[in-house]
Structure 1
């Protein structure tokens, strides 16, 4: 079933074109991730699908039988409502049935109760309230009587997420679920639960996320928005990167050919008299088309820079027997750690265990109860916090960076300009001369990151740096940090980012205990999981029985042999599946290179049919194997 179709969709803001003549389809069961640089039009495209923005031209057709539901960064709520009351404000028949049932319980009117019971049966709402509470518990919202106005920003977002998931469960209509950065403000356990929930749920999903593990686990289609176009990739994040490289290589080859032709045609243009023949006018038209291609700038700035970082002395940073509590809540208890030159430390733990407090203590922004801190004389901290930028209303991006300095120092006495450094972090010339107030939220976050790095610190402290950063910027940041010769502390819930960057983990395990672990995030999680499984009650539930018992072989049920017909069926499946996989790969390749709307629709339908056939064969193969 087709949910959404778009043709020749164009949207601009003033001179800035976000996308031009793009086309796409969303079909039932699709799980799509949108990947783009901040400011490329992701949020605008979502608003157009929600009916909150109007495209300049083109058509968007949304199936009248579906409902579009958005999980946004900005959440509206009545601060006087309790969590449970807020959850019950859902306008769906199953939720209304639950509310009417509760009302009937209080009024004790037999007619009301009969009507409420009939509604509960009709909308299959008996388990809905329990499921709602289970979702809230998984997202660590346990006090349902708490007023919405008393919750933190992160808690409000988690309650809103629970409400959205309950709505998709409650509705029996077709729903297109749109989620903009759903993993922000969630700890690792919550992210993994949501990842598992969405990957298994039979929903149609359009997702914007910077979490690459989450993306790979949940989505199987990637929309890439770049250079005013939309490219569709079927497969994993790695497949998208491979396709992107191939496309850029092909484009560069086309540009090289156009540049050679352009030089020849330019000489001809200069020799021509003012009076033009019909033939020469046609050639002139071709010349200008060739010029457009030849003058495309596809150069991708790299971060292969030899930074002239301020020298680090022998003493870096040492914390000795640090204690920190807020009332009865212990955050740090007898914590000691000595940071080394070039060490990249990742700090992990549940929200509220003291991670950000430790960062503030290190920088002298927060007092500690007991202990001692020794900081090297040469240390220059660079702190990327979650608070955001402070800037003048009409200040331009380039001027904001130039307040620190005109140039950024490299080794051997070389420098690069502020503009060149901004370009390395994906700020093009037009954006550099725009007011900061005109930037998107993600672009402001990227500028804040630039502001910290441009000050050339030798000890970086990052508190949730990946929140609201787009994937292209994250890739640039990762490359920067991998080359960074100074010391680094990162607090992040982004598993991919932590795995790629850190070489040592400080894990806040609660009640003031901080554990050091040599390795990356996933390695720590694996060791921790093994330790917890050994300590689980299931293993220690029963004491060992001292009385010896005779060993007896457990009699296995006889395994039924396959019939001749089943054996033949298994052999046929073994032969058929590789052929279907090959056919599927061929269709995917055609889709990645196809731009014609009708052909894309036909190929997408073929791919869906083929996917269903493969799934059925795999299930039957497993049955026969067992």
Structure 2
């Protein structure tokens, strides 16, 4: 029996049916990815299944008492003031107790009796583990200042806040719309582990292929109002979809040829319907629908010209930049070469966006210089998108750049022809920007950037909100791109496929240059951390000469639980040390610096003890 399903679900958008009489069912424990091109209705379907939008017709059915958690692309925090107001639900007793406990602990002069009473209640409700879990989630998603106004947060911070709340609430069904947007790679890898632990029921819309492969067991495609199911990973989906597409194209071609013949018959016969074969008329209109199936040309075409590139591209000499006395980039030097394909990596807030603003002259360095070659043409695809006027026509957005575009060997084409190549048919070209989906706006932005024929291409999170088909075509284009490519993305698949060098930002101002892609870097870094952990354990182990004891042959149940818990605790302690180390570079008060340094030393000692105990239990196993 389905834990959550739809019955004859239909919905339209701007007089166009997204889907009609759609069935979509989920069993407990299903982890499903929903994919499809921009504008097909993926986000709309998620909203309807989450109960935040009513369909035009049909119903959503769920098991009694099922709690559905929903993460939208753009969270709405209406009527909420601070982070604390949002995180701790008024109707959740455990969360309210944890909120009161944290408030008391953080205050300078608290009531000891009140703290004891709350502690007793938390113990009675077995809520200490829940309190620890809440802290872990908030730390991972970089949420700490509970008094901060939600309205002052950036879009990325608000998305992380909404995700934190959903994970804290632990719903029965997780419905997530682009959950990896605005997360760094380390946090995405943590989220993968969280969603695959236990028997969670998950429905995800995401462009991140590695994320989908690690989390989901099944892919469902929403295509022209229908759902197509594929078991297995993304590679299997691509293969099976290609087979289905070829079959659909062949069927559509056959239907179009037959429809043309039937069209002649319809025109020759008398207009009065009663004199014609009713069944043949119905068959004619059925053929007409089938003939509108996809053709071989129903995909984005990227064939842009690349401007000629001279010997000097861009030279960065000893560039430094700080904010509020905190170094973001320190003494960075690099000379770009022809064919450079560089990925920018690092945690959120480590300096990647600052670096892009410096080389595009949006910011001036505190010291050092950036010199750009005369023939260098920069194309900058920004994460924030373009500022479109809602009442502006789509074609005018393009004509603002140029009415005719040089396609190199393919000659000159008009703005309308270019829009058609990017899957904007005439009815959308002359429609308003306000009627475009988020993904369609991103596609329009990408087209505007490529129209400049850049030879130095900067892409800041290009995969956010782009559908899989457009992403695949963008990848093919970028593999053929002969200019310099600078890529900022949390999409590990893109980094592995398109880059062969990394600039790694570490939040202290230092930029480490690594030759290789992200998979290479990740493997080497993991091996290095393992070696360091083993060395620390060896150093911390005391040398004791004692009488040999008989080897324990079997681990107890209690020790098994301890072993399992230690793995999580070690990871959490390592994350806390990293977070505090990052904080050291941002604090100027010497007293606070001393306190943080002491806390790091205490945690390192704790980590050594836990690691030693983990190895001891591992040997028993």
How many Å separate the matches in 2 of 1:77 and 1:155?
Answer: 16
> How far is 1:157 from its partner?
3.1
Q: Which of the numbers 377, 386, 391 marks the counterpart of 1:394?
A: 391
Partner residue, 1:361: 358
How many Å separate the matches in 1 of 2:230 and 2:7?
Answer: 18
- Once the two structures are overlaid, the 10-residue window that deviates more, 4-13 or 55-64, is 55-64
Q: Taking structure 1 as reference, are residues 54 and 61 closer, same or farther at Cα in structure 2, changes over 3 Å only?
A: same
Kept in 1, the 8 Å contact 2:39–2:439? The answer is yes
What SS is found at the alignment partner of 2:138? helix
TM-score when normalising by structure 2: 0.79
Structure 1: 5+ residue runs without aligned partners?
169-173, 560-625
Kept in 1, the 8 Å contact 2:252–2:294? The answer is no
2:68 matches 1:87: no
TM-score when normalising by structure 1: 0.79
How many Å separate the matches in 1 of 2:293 and 2:456?
Answer: 39
> How far is 1:88 from its partner?
2.1
2:429 matches 1:432: yes
Kept in 2, the 8 Å contact 1:325–1:332? The answer is yes
> How far is 1:317 from its partner?
1.0
Q: Deviations over 1:587-613 (max 9, x none)?
A: xxxxxxxxxxxxxxxxxxxxxxxxxxx
Q: Deviations over 1:506-549 (max 9, x none)?
A: 1113322212222222212222222333334x41454599x9x9
> How far is 1:489 from its partner?
0.9
> How far is 1:382 from its partner?
1.2
Partner residue, 2:75: 74
Kept in 1, the 8 Å contact 2:504–2:513? The answer is yes
Partner residue, 1:539: 535
Q: Deviations over 1:432-476 (max 9, x none)?
A: 221012222332222222211122222111222222223222222
What SS is found at the alignment partner of 2:67? strand
Kept in 2, the 8 Å contact 1:383–1:452? The answer is yes
Q: Deviations over 1:288-347 (max 9, x none)?
A: 332332344423356776543221111111112222222331122221111122322111
2:457 matches 1:460: yes
Kept in 2, the 8 Å contact 1:75–1:157? The answer is no
Q: Taking structure 1 as reference, are residues 232 and 196 closer, same or farther at Cα in structure 2, changes over 3 Å only?
A: same
How many Å separate the matches in 1 of 2:37 and 2:492?
Answer: 20
Q: Which of the numbers 453, 472, 476 marks the counterpart of 1:475?
A: 472
> How far is 1:133 from its partner?
0.9
How many Å separate the matches in 1 of 2:449 and 2:49?
Answer: 36
Write out aligned runs for 1:177-576 (5 A): 177-269=174-266, 272=269, 280-301=277-298, 307-412=304-409, 414-536=411-533, 538-543=534-539
Partner residue, 2:48: 48
How many Å separate the matches in 1 of 2:327 and 2:241?
Answer: 49
Write out aligned runs for 1:567-586 (5 A): none
Q: Deviations over 1:244-286 (max 9, x none)?
A: 1122112122123323433444455555566888674433432
Partner residue, 2:157: 155
Q: Taking structure 1 as reference, are residues 228 and 431 closer, same or farther at Cα in structure 2, changes over 3 Å only?
A: farther
Q: Deviations over 1:205-238 (max 9, x none)?
A: 1212221111111111222111122222222112
Q: Taking structure 1 as reference, are residues 482 and 302 closer, same or farther at Cα in structure 2, changes over 3 Å only?
A: farther
> How far is 1:44 from its partner?
1.6
Kept in 2, the 8 Å contact 1:101–1:113? The answer is no
Q: Which of the numbers 126, 134, 137 marks the counterpart of 2:136?
A: 134
How many Å separate the matches in 1 of 2:498 and 2:102?
Answer: 52
Aligned residues: 550
- Once the two structures are overlaid, the 10-residue window that deviates more, 405-414 or 99-108, is 99-108
Kept in 2, the 8 Å contact 1:307–1:410? The answer is yes
> How far is 1:90 from its partner?
5.2
Partner residue, 1:57: 57
> How far is 1:370 from its partner?
2.2
Q: Taking structure 1 as reference, are residues 386 and 229 closer, same or farther at Cα in structure 2, changes over 3 Å only?
A: same
How many Å separate the matches in 2 of 1:119 and 1:360?
Answer: 48
Kept in 1, the 8 Å contact 2:9–2:55? The answer is yes
> How far is 1:77 from its partner?
6.6
How many Å separate the matches in 2 of 1:239 and 1:165?
Answer: 30
Q: Taking structure 1 as reference, are residues 557 and 151 closer, same or farther at Cα in structure 2, changes over 3 Å only?
A: same
> How far is 1:367 from its partner?
0.9
Q: Taking structure 1 as reference, are residues 446 and 294 closer, same or farther at Cα in structure 2, changes over 3 Å only?
A: closer
Partner residue, 2:31: 31
What SS is found at the alignment partner of 2:54? coil
2:17 matches 1:17: yes
- Once the two structures are overlaid, the 10-residue window that deviates more, 84-93 or 467-476, is 84-93
How many Å separate the matches in 2 of 1:44 and 1:27?
Answer: 21
How many Å separate the matches in 2 of 1:315 and 1:197?
Answer: 47
Q: Taking structure 1 as reference, are residues 185 and 281 closer, same or farther at Cα in structure 2, changes over 3 Å only?
A: closer
Kept in 2, the 8 Å contact 1:406–1:418? The answer is yes
Partner residue, 1:604: none
Kept in 1, the 8 Å contact 2:463–2:471? The answer is yes
How many Å separate the matches in 1 of 2:206 and 2:340?
Answer: 28
Kept in 2, the 8 Å contact 1:104–1:113? The answer is no
What SS is found at the alignment partner of 2:417? helix
Kept in 2, the 8 Å contact 1:505–1:519? The answer is yes
How many Å separate the matches in 1 of 2:526 and 2:103?
Answer: 45
How many Å separate the matches in 2 of 1:100 and 1:302?
Answer: 55
